Structure 1
Amino acid sequence: MRTYRELFRTPEFTPFFLTLTAQIAAMTVAGLGLATLVYRDTGSPLLSALALFGPSLAQVVGATTLLSAADRLPPRAAIVGVALLLALGTALQAIPGLPVAAVFAVLSVQGLIGSVGGGVRMGLLHDILTREGYLLGRSLLNIAVGVCQIAGYGAGGLLVALLSPRGALVTGAALFACAALCARLGLSRRPPRAAGRPSVAESLRVNRLLLSLPARRRAYLALWVPSGLIVGCESLFVPYDPGHAALLFGCAALGMLAGDVTVGRLLPARWRGRLASPLHALLAAPFLLFAFGPPLPVAAVAVAVATVGYGASLLFQERLMALTPDELSGQALGLHSSGMLTLQGVSAALAGVLAQRTSTPTAMALLAGLSLLVTAALAYAGRADGRGSGNEEERGTRDRKPGSALSLVTARRSEAGATGRSRRRAES
């Protein structure tokens, strides 16, 4: 599968694509409206940042307790149910006079729901496109995310200006409902990818196994930390320039779109392994300019250039999928999504604290510098372990084969003991 057009000839990809784009548009419009509403009511950069990215903090709870459901629920029913619950929560946030504490309580519930929804969606994408088409499909979806965010932030800014922040929230709720309808009418019924009932114990056990291989751990850290810190910078766009935050968010989405097109469609395969870390460095470096409080035109260009680096995520996702068995793709991708969103929420909170103790421009520059340090450390660790990379690749390939240790994590408890022994022999 080589072109985006071929993706739309794949059965079920079009309704899946429309469902996801409607949901991203809903989150964008509603997020901007809620962040603006909270900032107007409280004047707090911390609370404004948490309103925009706060649901991400609840992802860590969902990842450790609910994530096994990503492979053990019927995908269509789960996607429809998640979208309807998000629509309900967004509509509740639009109620006039709702206390700030109640707003954040609803956000926390939405984060828990989203931790399962992300794994279900990405696992279904992997089923629809297979492993060979996954990178191209993720590239197209990331492009759609960028376009929806550009349009969503533009529309959200207009809704906030012409109507009110609550008008943006109501629009977001309606878009979530449209996503649920599209999934219900367009997707076919599929059985769960894995047998058994979702449980906290199963979620923890599979997560431990997914993180047991150093190559997968590095891939997860690379997917979570450097970009998560830059999202913390973006969470301060509203306090940095309340009147033009939508423009800065739109520039970020435009840069991300360019990066995803370049990596997913244009970048030759031989360059993929070499450019992942440089792209992460590009993601952070331009944000250092915010230490000087640049005017809006300079800030907008810096943001657009920097966010091209988000394309690195596609390269690390491809590596993660190469080391993960198909029947656990939902939980593996859900763990990626939940960890990424959790780091985004933590970074947004850290950004708010730094902004209140120093200043908004200083906080953005500090987070960008920390992202560069993490990127350098991960790149050094990868090179230092280069001699053992062949063993990690071999073990990751074994994990994907039927009957391997990682493939048998959903088997009976009596089989789990033999699985653990075979893993220890593979590691010795």
Structure 2
Amino acid sequence: MEATVSDERPPADGPATFREVFAEGEYRAIFAASVLSWLGDYVARAAVTVMVYRETESVALSATAFAVSYLPWLVGGPLLTTLAERYRYRSVMVAADLARMVLMALVAIKGLPVAAVLTLLFLVTLANPPSQAARSALLPVILPGDRVVLGLSLNASAGQAAQVVGYLVGASIAVVNPTVALLLNATTFGLSALLVRFGVRDHPAAMTAAHRSHLLRETAQGFQMVFGTPIMRAIALLVFASMLFSIVPEGLAAAWADDHHDGMQAGLSQAVIMAANPVGFILGGLLIGRMVAPARRLRLIRPLAVFSPLVLVPAFLNPPPTVVALLAAACGFAVAGLLPTANGLFVQVLPDGYRARAFGVMATGVQVIQGAAVLVTGLLAERFPIPKVVGVWSAAGVLLMLLITLRWPSAAAVDAAVRAAGHRQPAGQAARVVAPRSAPAQEGPTSGITAATR
């Protein structure tokens, strides 16, 4: 795939190249720091579940140790991400990494009570929302035009790859010594802090102290911006709906493989099903993000949105695990072609002073919806066969996506929203807000609107 990278800039309406994106030193630093943090997180998550289970022999406590990483998003994600708007992005990311490094080193201390381990893990994950919000808000500042879309695709694909590798490495190390895995995670946070501190410029905060009001009010303004603006509300509904259905095969993989492994070892069946969606996501994000022109990616939003749940409907027929994995991979491919475009468009229609807060709203919604989807389908699977649950759930997803895409804004409305973002300012804030960088006006009504946080 690297052989397709050209030495020359693509035409104005063509897709950005990997070389253009990685030519930006700040992006290289953020990308490397993110990959390190993700790898460490997934290694530690696998290790902690093993460690807690060994200490307690309780499946419930082991599962709690795994699930605690999602809790901060549920109890205060938007509030915590608002902090990233108040302070310099680099400072937020470095402080979060250093705090997580120290806390993970404490988790690695042998002999800690399980309650103390769970408390420390919760504190570790409290740093995730502001750190991720700062990174998300910074990307459109350092990557102009279509480069931000490819950058988002690269980040999403790298995150999926880190998940697969991290779980495998973490589980392997944890069998021998969980402490080593936890110290490895602490080390990755330290390295990430160094990369960000010395590789990213000290950009000013989006909101100065003079323009702050109250943390709750500022958080509420983030919700108002996302759901009170038609174009952003449409993007939010699209993203949330895609998460509602694409996560289900992965969430039900353990029970599905145990009941329908079709001669294949149950553990192998589970691994194949769980890995399929991330693999499809990686391929879709890189291929569509790099090889499809920006204007065409926008036109693909509607068909990809409908295709993502549609491809899972054949699960109703109870196919073998390998076929289920192929269906899940195709779903991941479609979602990967959809999300970076939607995310890129989202950041382009937001004024600078709202990006971190809006990220908090979206990221929290994604976490809640994914958890709810797995919970609801899991409860349904207690009474009905899993293939039928997934098939019917996905068919309902097709109907929902059809409704959402029928109300998707026109190209003219999208273009107007991107242009309007340059004139919109956060409530109570003066003209210091920097308009998001969009493509030149002469590129036409859709070519500069290249797009629109799994």
Same fold flag (TM > 0.5): yes
Q: Is residue 333 of structure 2 the alignment partner of residue 308 of structure 1?
A: yes
Amino acid across the alignment from 1:341 = Q
**Matched-pair contact (CA < 8 Å) for 1:251–1:304:** yes
Amino acid across the alignment from 2:353 = E
**Matched-pair contact (CA < 8 Å) for 2:78–2:357:** no
Deviations 1:314-357 (A, max 9, x none): 121123234222332232233322322332334444455556x4
Q: 1:391 to 1:99 in 2, by over 3 A?
A: farther
| Alignment correspondent of 1:120 | 134
Q: Is residue 80 of structure 2 the alignment partner of residue 62 of structure 1?
A: no
| Alignment correspondent of 1:321 | 347
Amino acid across the alignment from 1:409 = A
Q: Is residue 182 of structure 2 the alignment partner of residue 178 of structure 1?
A: no
Q: Give, in angstroms, the shift of residue 31 of structure 1.
A: 2.5
Q: 1:157 to 1:66 in 2, by over 3 A?
A: closer
Q: Is residue 422 of structure 2 the alignment partner of residue 409 of structure 1?
A: no
| Alignment correspondent of 2:371 | 345
Q: 1:102 to 1:391 in 2, by over 3 A?
A: farther
Amino acid across the alignment from 1:174 = T
Q: How far apart, CA to CA, are the structure 2 residues paired with 1:87 and 1:16?
A: 17
Give 1:5-404 correspondences, 5 Å limit. Answer: 5-36=19-50, 41-44=57-60, 51-94=65-108, 103-161=117-175, 163-165=176-178, 167-196=180-209, 197=212, 199-238=215-254, 240=257, 243-244=267-268, 245-285=270-310, 287=312, 296-311=321-336, 312-350=338-376, 353=379, 357-358=382-383, 362=386, 366=389, 369-370=392-393, 372-374=395-397, 376-384=399-407, 389=410, 393=414, 396-397=417-418, 399-402=420-423, 404=424
Q: How far apart, CA to CA, are the structure 1 residues paired with 2:72 and 2:78?
A: 10
Indicate the SS of the match to 1:66. helix
Q: How far apart, CA to CA, are the structure 1 residues paired with 2:304 and 2:415?
A: 27
Deviations 1:2-46 (A, max 9, x none): 2101112113121111101111111222223334556773335xx
Q: Give, in angstroms, the shift of residue 277 of structure 1.
A: 4.2
Indicate the SS of the match to 2:127. helix
Structure 1 gaps, min length 5: 413-428
Q: 1:381 to 1:345 in 2, by over 3 A?
A: closer
Q: How far apart, CA to CA, are the structure 2 residues paired with 1:94 and 1:230?
A: 34
**Matched-pair contact (CA < 8 Å) for 2:252–2:378:** yes
Q: Give, in angstroms, the shift of residue 216 of structure 1.
A: 1.1
Structure with more helix by fraction: 1
Q: How far apart, CA to CA, are the structure 1 residues paired with 2:248 and 2:118?
A: 18
Q: 1:334 to 1:64 in 2, by over 3 A?
A: closer
How many residues are matched? 401
Q: How far apart, CA to CA, are the structure 1 residues paired with 2:376 and 2:106?
A: 27
Amino acid across the alignment from 1:264 = G
Structure 2 gaps, min length 5: 1-8, 10-15, 259-265, 431-454
Q: How far apart, CA to CA, are the structure 2 residues paired with 1:396 and 1:58?
A: 32
Percent identity between matched residues is 25
Provide the aligned C-alpha RMSD in A. 3.4
| Alignment correspondent of 1:425 | none
Q: What TM-score, normalized by structure 2, do the two folds share?
A: 0.75
Q: 1:65 to 1:129 in 2, by over 3 A?
A: same
Which stretch shifts more, 118-127 or 51-60? Answer: 51-60
